[in-house]
Amino acid sequence: MAYLPNKKILFLIVFILLIFAGWFYFSSYKNKQAQYIAGKEKGPLVVIADQTNQLDKDTDSDGLKDWEELLWKTDSGKADTDGDGTPDGEEINLDRNPLKAGPDDKISDKEDLVAQEKAVSDSNQNTLTATYARKFLTDYMTLKKQKGELSGLDKENLVQSFMDSLKPLTVADEYSMANIKIASNTNDAIKKYANEMKKIFVDDRQTLVDVPMAFEMLFKNIKNGNPDFQKNIGNLNYSVGKHEELLKQLVVLNVPKDLSKNHLGAINSLNNVKFAIKNMALAPTDPVKAMMGKKLYDVEIQKVYDSLKSMQDIFGKYGIYVF
């Protein structure tokens, strides 16, 4: 369609999609979602309902929701933006340009194509968000033209189509057994390894950033236009550096053979977590990629915990308790 997203509304489009979908960060962890959107006073369902009601707001009663006015670049405080006597919503349903006074304001296929190409060129954004936002808008505009007012089911189907089109971030494991220093399974070797792992993961844990919280605050501050989001990015980048330090510590350890597989799994997952956090920090310019990074983070951090739990099962056989 002719009206494609510009830099200012890319984040808005993603936020709209997330509310329609009824979750945050494309994650199945609903408790984390509730933590972000509910705060301490309201329940998550109440907050979702409140925000969805805001999306249904039509200030000028022209048939376009306020958020749709942003997509079409019309005036949410003026029912007839171009002043030709036809409300903006009606013009869109008639395939007319709500920004050009009629009656000669029909949007031709040729004009539509030129507008698309110009919008893509002007935006100069080779981001996942730009790609997915353009697809969402094309699907939305097509459905809007066909049906006019969208029902709740229409919105659900639109979002489901969007979700189905997403491809998760992928990352290949960087380390192999060749990178691990294998030691014999002696009691002394296992105790020494356990003590070193305890120092890294327990004693020095206070130096690590709460990544999910930093990411939640990043999105919250971006949405609210709070410049503090730069501090959140700084926290995420700091966490990337701490993971690099952590990996350097882990790869030089002498690892008892029985623990080598779990050790390798832990360092690969931690390295993948680092990759995920780097992408999470892209939220201001590429929110879709950032949220896909958050999804990868959830998967890989669970793998880290699983590897450490398996290590503790082995430590337990020697009467050693670390994690």
Q: Which residue has the tokens 């929110």?
A: 287
- Name the pTM for this structure: 0.66
Contact 135, 165 (CB under 8 A): yes
Assigned fold of 177-316: A middle domain of Talin 1 (1.20.1420)
E strands of the chain, at which residues? 181-183, 254-256
Q: Give the start-to-end residue ranges of the domains of the chain.
A: 7-165, 177-316
Q: What tokens appear for 2 in the block?
A: 């002719």
Collapsed DSSP state (helix, strand, coil) of residue 183: strand
Q: Any residues with CB less than 8 A from the CB of 267 and at least 6 apart, and which?
A: 175, 179, 247, 250, 251
Burial code (b: 16+ CB inside 10 Å, e: under 16) for 114-153 equals: ebbeebeeebebebbbbebbbebbebbbebbeeeeebeee
Q: Count Cβ atoms within 10 A of the Cβ of residue 176 and give its class: 0-12 exposed, 13-18 middle, 19 or more buried.
A: exposed
- Residue 96's beta-bridge partner residues? 106
Tell me which amino acid residue 113 is. Answer: L
Q: What tokens appear for 132 in the block?
A: 């997915």
Q: What tokens appear for 119 in the block?
A: 């919008």
**How far is Cα 203 from Cα 272, in angstroms, rounded to an integer?**
23
**How far is Cα 119 from Cα 114, in angstroms, rounded to an integer?**
9
Asked if omega into 98 is within 30° of 0 (cis), the reply is no
Half-sphere exposure at residue 190, Cβ-oriented, CA atoms within 13 angstroms: 18
Collapsed DSSP state (helix, strand, coil) of residue 96: strand
- Tell me phi and psi for residue 183, to 5 degrees: -115, 165
Read off the pLDDT of residues 106-151 as tens digits, 9 standing for 90 and up: 776 545 544 444 444 444 456 777 677 667 767 777 787 777 777 7
**Tens digits of pLDDT across the chain (323 residues):** 334 444 444 555 555 555 444 334 434 333 443 333 333 333 333 433 444 455 567 889 888 877 677 667 788 889 999 999 999 888 877 878 888 887 888 776 545 544 444 444 444 456 777 677 667 767 777 787 777 777 777 876 776 777 677 677 889 999 999 999 999 999 999 999 999 999 988 887 666 788 988 988 887 787 677 888 899 999 999 999 999 999 999 999 999 999 999 999 999 999 999 999 999 999 887 877 888 898 899 899 999 999 999 999 999 988 888 87
